Structure 1
Amino acid sequence: MVDKKVMAKNTFMLYGRMLLIMFATFYTSRMVLEALGVYDFGLYSLVGSIIILFSFIQNVSALATQRFLSVGLGKGDFEWANKVFNTSVIVHIIICGLILLFAETLGLWFLLHKLKVPEARLNDVFWVYQLSIVSLLIQIMQTPFIASMIACEKMDLFAKVGIFDAFQRWFMVFLFTLFGFENKIVWYAAFLLVGYSLVFSVYFSFCTSRLSVCKINLRVKENTALLKEIFFFSSWSMLGSLSVVGLSQGIALLTYYFVGVVANGAIWLAEQILIAFNRIIGTLQTAFNPQIIKQYSVGNSQEVSSLLSLSCKLTAFVVMISAIPVFVDAEIIANIWLNKVPEYLVDLIKIVVIYILVDSLSGPYVTAIYAVGKLRNYQFIVSAIMLSSLFMTFILYFLGFSVYVAVSSRILCAFLLLMFRVFYVSRATGVSAKKFLLDEFPRLALVAVVAMLASNYLSNYIMGGFIGLIVLSALNFSIVILMFSLFVLKAEERRNIIGMIRKRL
């Protein structure tokens, strides 16, 4: 059976980690915007944002390794889990080699010959690109170590590294702002590379010294069959990850081409909101992931269904209480966050929030799909849906629609992906799709719509500024709790929650 106390403890520690990294991300974004200026900020976001995009899909990429480790740990086979870790390291080295080959050929050609970059800035753009590629490779090699911490449920170590990560983000940007560099965007990319290298060294040190499954022993001949299995599994996982990056980067490139660098910079800033909420969602999901995989590996489908339902409800609740105030008071939040709010940003934040409300429900089902392990057909269909969304964005821009309409195509993409994942999990595991689609999803949608409309109405009678945002957040929190109690939670779930509160009090 699942130890709910351990999951609660892990969730608490992960939230502390997530809050620190979120604060560092938002604060340093403001510092960088002021240091670079709007134009250079937009130019960097065009070339170097692949690292930022990879950070929010890292949870999905780590699931490939985590899935194999969790299966071994669930069965108590620590020797096999150690082989999985070492094989995963080899697999990620191979993946890095393939990405480097692609980046330095087709990617570099596209950068130098197809982007409308002023000739005077081509040298800066080239070096930002090279530094960003190295940073990306370091991020990829970090994945097996992150997956090992999560699979072993060592959330205390994971949280400590997160604290260090948050500090180094601020410190690197602080150092960057102290000096009057001539080529600012190049030096900014260099400082980021140093920061990523430091974080990797901490992950490496912690895992190899404190986790028995992370003892380095890269003997390929002994693990040939496992190498093939994990490589193909990770390759399909990487295809899905690259599809996410391709969709985000594709939208950014199309926006840069059809609208301009300022709009592209605004999209990059809106992506920071998306990254922040994905960290919230990832924090919740990280506590559930090992148990979902372990329960599936031992054939406990009833417990898997219960964990999926609980994870969806908890994720929806946390996203609603935090995202709806962002939607309603997007302008106030943008002004608090940035001294000078770029054009397009406020409405793009609202679009991102709607996307998050839909996409957040997919997380538990993605974990279940990775637990099943049959990724080829799944990733083909997911990639096709994302490619269709990118093509729709291109058509909308080509026909002259605004940036808001074009970017909104991602919302439809998120909904289609959610429906597909629910049906895929139902077919693979026997978990009821009907229960989610006809019972849970309509109830969650009702709560979201009512809370958004009520908060928007109440905002007309609340003072502006930071105090008004706090008041609106408190009112929205009350509305969401009431609606969840009435329409989402079952009687048994309500009794359990009330019992837990009484016990604490």
Structure 2
Amino acid sequence: MVDKKLMARNTIMLYGRMLLIMFVTFYTSRMVLKALGVYDFGLYSVVGSIIVLFSFIQNVSALATQRFLSVGLGRNDHAWTNRVFNTSILVHISICGAILFLAETLGLWFLTHKMKVPIDRVTDVFWVYQISVVSLLLQIMQTPFMAALIALEKMDAFAKIGIFDAFQRWLMVFLFTLFSFEHKIVSYALFLLVGYFCVFIVYVVFCVNKFDICKIRPRFTESKGLFREIFVFSSWSMIGSLSVVGLSQGIALLTYFFVGVVANGSIWLAEQIMVAFNRIIGTLQTAFNPQIIKQHSVSNFSEVSSLISLSCKLTACIVLISAIPVFVDTAFIVNIWLSQVPPYLVTLIKLVVVYILIDSLSGPYITAIYAVGRLQRYQITVSAIMLASLLLSFILYMSGFSIYVAYSARIACAFALLVYRVIYISKSSSMEYKTFLLNDFPRLAFVCVLSIAFSEFIVRYLLDGLLGLICLIIVNAIFVLVMFSIFAINSAERRFIFGMIKKRF
């Protein structure tokens, strides 16, 4: 049975962690933009954004590792789960080796021969790239320990380490702004590297000392079969996450070539909004993911279907509450956030919000697909859809369309991926895809459109300024919750939600 009390407690802990990290992310973005200036900020975003973009690799790789750990915990086989953990460390060392090879060959060639970097900044860009690669490798090696905390559902510990992570991010940026550096973007990258290393050490020390399944006993000779299974599974998941990175970085590079470095900085800031919303989405899904995988491992497919449906709807509800004020009152929020507002940013953020509203619905289905475990055909199709989206952006830029039209190709991609994932999982579970596509999705879309129209009315005809924004946030939240309870959820899901709240409080 699903532990509703544990899920409720975990969700609350994770949301506290998420809110703090979001606040620090936005505040430090403002500090960095002010310290670097618009041009250097845009230049750093071209190269240093590898960390933000490749965080998709960490998230997907963590889900792949968590899948095997949750299966072992679901079967109550701790010895096998410890073997999985140690094998996953070896797998991630192999992944780091492959990424390092690609970064120092293909990536370095592209950086030195294809990037239009000013002559006097070539050395700075080279070192930012190298430092960013090291930071990326640290984050990848952190993945097995992070996945173990989630699989064990130790969200209180996960939240505390997240608080430490938020504090070190602020501290590193604060220390950076205290001093005057000749090579600003290189110094900024070094400060970030120190912070990533500290978080990595905390994860390793905490997990190894607290949990038996995290004891490090790498024995490759005894785990060849398991290594092969995890490596193949992780490799296919890595291909999918690399496609996400390729799409994001590809659009950024196309913008850099066709529009310029300032526009690229605006895309990087818009990506920060996307990262923030992904944290909101991931917080709820992190609470649901272990249960979806564990229930699937014992073939409780009706419970899996119920969890997917509920997770999808709750995710949509939370995204609507947080995203609609950003969409409706973007200009005012951006002016609060940043002391300097780069060109293109306001409209790009609106496009990011539309993308998130669609893409957020895919999360529970991705978890279910990982629980099933057959990734080859799935990842090939997903990668093809993303490549087609990137190609569409290139064609739009070549045809003279604006940055907004070219960036909108991601929205079409998100919808195509959502439809494909829903159909894919319906073939391996008792969940009927027509239920979501013809019933749940139209209902959620109706609530979304109605809520946006209502919020637009508040902003246009009632209050404006800071008081108006506060009023908008509160009234929109109430309106979305009412519309959601009327149109989106059924009676069984309503009882489940009230049961979680009742058991928690």
**Where on the TM-score scale, by shorter chain, does this alignment land: which range?**
over 0.9
Q: Who is 2:34 aligned against? A: 34
1:132-159 Cα offsets, whole Å, 9 max, x none, are 0000000110111110000011111101
Distance 2:57 2:229 in 1: 22
Distance 1:305 1:59 in 2: 23
Q: Indicate conservation of the 8 Å contact 1:332/1:464, yes or no.
A: no
Deviation at 1:196, TM superposition (A): 0.3
Q: Who is 1:435 aligned against? A: 435
Distance 2:499 2:431 in 1: 28
Distance 1:243 1:215 in 2: 33
Deviation at 1:59, TM superposition (A): 2.5
After TM superposition, list the pairs within 5 Å mapping 1:58-457 onto structure 2.
58-457=58-457
* Matched AA of 2:218: L
Question: Does the C-alpha gap of structure 1 residues 99 and 314 become closer, same or farther in structure 2, counting only changes over 3 Å?
Answer: same
Q: Secondary structure at the match of 1:340?
A: coil
1:346-377 Cα offsets, whole Å, 9 max, x none, are 00000000000000000000000000001111
Question: Over aligned residues, Cα RMSD in angstroms?
Answer: 1.3
Q: Who is 1:20 aligned against? A: 20
Question: Does the C-alpha gap of structure 1 residues 501 and 168 become closer, same or farther in structure 2, counting only changes over 3 Å?
Answer: closer
Distance 1:156 1:494 in 2: 26
Question: Does the C-alpha gap of structure 1 residues 379 and 501 become closer, same or farther in structure 2, counting only changes over 3 Å?
Answer: closer
Task: Give the stretch that moved more between structures: 354-363 or 446-455.
Answer: 446-455
Q: Who is 1:465 aligned against? A: 465
Deviation at 1:496, TM superposition (A): 5.7
Question: Does the C-alpha gap of structure 1 residues 504 and 418 become closer, same or farther in structure 2, counting only changes over 3 Å?
Answer: closer
Distance 2:400 2:478 in 1: 42
Q: Does 1:10 find its partner at 2:10?
A: yes
Task: Give the stretch that moved more between structures: 184-193 or 454-463.
Answer: 454-463
Question: Does the C-alpha gap of structure 1 residues 245 and 502 become closer, same or farther in structure 2, counting only changes over 3 Å?
Answer: closer
Deviation at 1:504, TM superposition (A): 8.5
Question: Does the C-alpha gap of structure 1 residues 496 and 154 become closer, same or farther in structure 2, counting only changes over 3 Å?
Answer: closer
Distance 2:108 2:268 in 1: 21
* Matched AA of 1:366: I
Q: Indicate conservation of the 8 Å contact 1:462/1:472, yes or no.
A: no
Q: Secondary structure at the match of 2:427?
A: helix
Distance 1:3 1:498 in 2: 14
* Matched AA of 2:486: L
Q: Who is 1:483 aligned against? A: 483
Deviation at 1:54, TM superposition (A): 2.3
Deviation at 1:99, TM superposition (A): 0.5
1:284-308 Cα offsets, whole Å, 9 max, x none, are 0000000000000000000000000
Q: Indicate conservation of the 8 Å contact 2:310/2:493, yes or no.
A: no
Distance 1:56 1:231 in 2: 18
Distance 2:426 2:496 in 1: 27
Deviation at 1:450, TM superposition (A): 0.9
Deviation at 1:494, TM superposition (A): 3.8
Task: Give the stretch that moved more between structures: 433-442 or 411-420.
Answer: 433-442
Q: Indicate conservation of the 8 Å contact 1:131/1:193, yes or no.
A: yes
Distance 2:108 2:37 in 1: 25
1:320-365 Cα offsets, whole Å, 9 max, x none, are 0000000000001100000111110000000000000000000000
**TM-score normalized with structure 1 length:** 0.98
Deviation at 1:501, TM superposition (A): 6.8
How many residues are aligned here?
Answer: 505
Q: Secondary structure at the match of 2:159?
A: helix
Q: Note the residue ranges of structure 1 that are not aligned, 5 or more in a row.
A: none
Deviation at 1:503, TM superposition (A): 8.7
Question: Does the C-alpha gap of structure 1 residues 78 and 496 become closer, same or farther in structure 2, counting only changes over 3 Å?
Answer: closer
1:89-143 Cα offsets, whole Å, 9 max, x none, are 0000001001000100111010011011111110000000000000000011011
Q: Secondary structure at the match of 2:428?
A: helix
Deviation at 1:8, TM superposition (A): 0.3
Q: Secondary structure at the match of 1:428?
A: coil
Q: Who is 2:43 aligned against? A: 43
Distance 2:27 2:122 in 1: 29
* Matched AA of 2:412: L
Distance 1:498 1:76 in 2: 30
Distance 1:491 1:276 in 2: 31
Q: Indicate conservation of the 8 Å contact 1:451/1:479, yes or no.
A: yes
Q: Secondary structure at the match of 1:429?
A: coil
Q: Indicate conservation of the 8 Å contact 2:4/2:499, yes or no.
A: no
* Matched AA of 2:5: K
Q: Indicate conservation of the 8 Å contact 1:56/1:275, yes or no.
A: no
Deviation at 1:261, TM superposition (A): 0.5
Question: Does the C-alpha gap of structure 1 residues 475 and 406 become closer, same or farther in structure 2, counting only changes over 3 Å?
Answer: same
Q: Identity over the aligned pairs, expressed in percent?
A: 70
* Matched AA of 1:243: S
Task: Give the stretch that moved more between structures: 434-443 or 416-425.
Answer: 434-443
Q: Indicate conservation of the 8 Å contact 2:128/2:185, yes or no.
A: yes
Question: Does the C-alpha gap of structure 1 residues 502 and 19 become closer, same or farther in structure 2, counting only changes over 3 Å?
Answer: closer
Distance 1:240 1:9 in 2: 31
Q: Indicate conservation of the 8 Å contact 2:288/2:307, yes or no.
A: yes
Question: Does the C-alpha gap of structure 1 residues 496 and 85 become closer, same or farther in structure 2, counting only changes over 3 Å?
Answer: closer
Distance 1:498 1:159 in 2: 24
Q: Indicate conservation of the 8 Å contact 1:296/1:304, yes or no.
A: yes
Distance 1:214 1:350 in 2: 42
Distance 1:87 1:496 in 2: 37
Task: Give the stretch that moved more between structures: 491-500 or 150-159.
Answer: 491-500
Distance 1:313 1:247 in 2: 27
Distance 1:308 1:445 in 2: 18
Distance 1:213 1:496 in 2: 32
Deviation at 1:165, TM superposition (A): 0.1
Q: Indicate conservation of the 8 Å contact 1:61/1:143, yes or no.
A: yes
Question: Does the C-alpha gap of structure 1 residues 56 and 457 become closer, same or farther in structure 2, counting only changes over 3 Å?
Answer: farther
Q: Indicate conservation of the 8 Å contact 2:5/2:504, yes or no.
A: no
Deviation at 1:222, TM superposition (A): 0.6
1:61-90 Cα offsets, whole Å, 9 max, x none, are 211100000000000000000000000000
Q: Indicate conservation of the 8 Å contact 1:56/1:278, yes or no.
A: no
